[in-house]
A and B are shown apart, each in its own frame.
Chain A
């Protein structure tokens, strides 16, 4: 056990408690206090159990943070229930997992398509003599599209899915803005549009950041070996 490790656990616990104070704000004080005390007890029990089991403090801190982050949608749903008195839709873990995978896979396919489109436009521009060089932005877009292709393939297997999603987050931040910039050189129509619409590049970056957040959510979801709770009871009826 190290002092730095201890501090990491303390910080993770503090962040979790801070989050519990945030999402219980404005609720019935008894309900809010119950949830906060329950989280406090959970954090204490986890730290004590990990200490007895010889689990490193850093691993405990990571686990606490991951538990907090993965639970945020449920926390917000619980808060809504407390405010409205209505238990609304509950998405089962497999369904969330499937939807997230579909979304991240679609993001990957779009990025590959963007890279392929710019590669095609660049090739055409070179062949017809529109330009005699490869702009940096086009080269970067094509490279990002290639990385996105690899990342999309990584989504196929459960064990590599989080790496694929993480890679798509990185490529997602850049590829849309870079493709817009490269079209400046490769398309006369795009040149007119880009000159007329000043917010196009910021918009491309905004889309990229949105895409990256979705991909990072996927990476967090798939970073641990198994998230899904089996729907099949293991206890036999006769027990």
Chain B
């Protein structure tokens, strides 16, 4: 099995950063299913699998590309739903995305933020 090279952003991570940076200016943050919906709409695909999405979010959170916090329980209770885990793209994440976009133009997809 090939190992992941340090500094390489996977396509799913690029797509999450792209969708996150689309939602974030409007909503302030985003949660898992909102991201899944946005990905499905922009890619014209089925909703992403739970495991694929949350594994990637977990990895990106650990790498500092995203930051997350659980919303206040009172808010969720008031709306009668489970608490959401709210994510934000960090400055590092945004820089990695821009660098990847730039590298894409040169034919390679890398991000030093993960190195």
How near does chain B come to A67, taking the closest CB pair, in angstroms? Answer: 5
Report chain A residues within 8 Å CB of B56: 74
Among A27-75, those with CB < 8 Å from B are 34-35, 37-42, 44-46, 48-49, 63, 66-75
Contact B109 A231 (CB under 8 A): yes
Contact with A along B22-44 (1 / 0, CB 8 A): 10000000011110110100111
A-B contact count (CB 8 A): 149
Contact B51 A75 (CB under 8 A): yes
Given the known A-B contacts A225-B46, A229-B43, are A71 and B36 also in contact in the complex, defined by CB atoms under 8 Å? no
The prevalent SS among residues of B at the interface is helix
Q: How far is the CA of A37 from the CA of B33 in the complex (A)?
A: 13
| A93 contacts chain B at the CB level, 8 A cutoff | yes
How near does chain B come to A34, taking the closest CB pair, in angstroms? Answer: 7
Question: CB < 8 Å: which of B1, B2, B46, B100 contacts A227?
Answer: B46
Given the known A-B contacts A41-B32, A89-B2, are A226 and B46 also in contact in the complex, defined by CB atoms under 8 Å? yes
How near does chain B come to A36, taking the closest CB pair, in angstroms? Answer: 10
Report chain A residues within 8 Å CB of B45: 224-229
Give the size category of B's interface with A: 35 or more
Contact A237 B59 (CB under 8 A): no
Contact A48 B81 (CB under 8 A): yes
Contact A94 B11 (CB under 8 A): yes
Question: CB < 8 Å: which of B15, B21, B104 contacts A229?
Answer: B15
Q: How far is the CA of A33 from the CA of B56 in the complex (A)?
A: 17
Closest to A94 in B: B11
Contact A89 B36 (CB under 8 A): no
Closest to A71 in B: B51
Among A1-43, those with CB < 8 Å from B are 16, 20, 34-35, 37-42
Report chain A residues within 8 Å CB of B54: 35, 38-39, 42, 71, 78
Q: How far is the CA of A89 from the CA of B10 in the complex (A)?
A: 11
Contact A78 B51 (CB under 8 A): yes
Closest to B105 in A: A237
Given the known A-B contacts A227-B46, A230-B11, are A72 and B4 also in contact in the complex, defined by CB atoms under 8 Å? no
Contact A41 B82 (CB under 8 A): yes
| A157 contacts chain B at the CB level, 8 A cutoff | no
Report chain A residues within 8 Å CB of B102: 237
Report chain B residues within 8 Å CB of A230: 11, 15, 43
Q: How far is the CA of A83 from the CA of B104 in the complex (A)?
A: 34
Q: How far is the CA of A144 from the CA of B108 in the complex (A)?
A: 45
Closest to B12 in A: A229
13 further A-B pairs in the complex, CB-CB below 8 A; given A45-B84, A63-B47, A91-B1? A16-B50, A46-B33, A67-B50, A74-B49, A77-B55, A78-B51, A88-B4, A89-B1, A94-B11, A224-B45, A230-B15, A232-B104, A235-B101
Show 9 residue pairs from A and B whose CB-CB distance is below 8 angstroms, ordered by the A residue.
A41-B83, A49-B37, A74-B56, A75-B51, A75-B55, A76-B51, A77-B55, A233-B15, A234-B18
Query: Shortest 8 CB-CB distances between A and B: which pairs?
Result: A71-B51, A71-B49, A74-B51, A45-B33, A70-B49, A224-B46, A75-B51, A231-B11
Chain B residues with a Cβ under 8 A of chain A: 1-4, 10-12, 14-15, 17-18, 21-22, 31-34, 36-37, 39, 42-56, 58-59, 70, 81-85, 97-98, 100-102, 104-105, 109
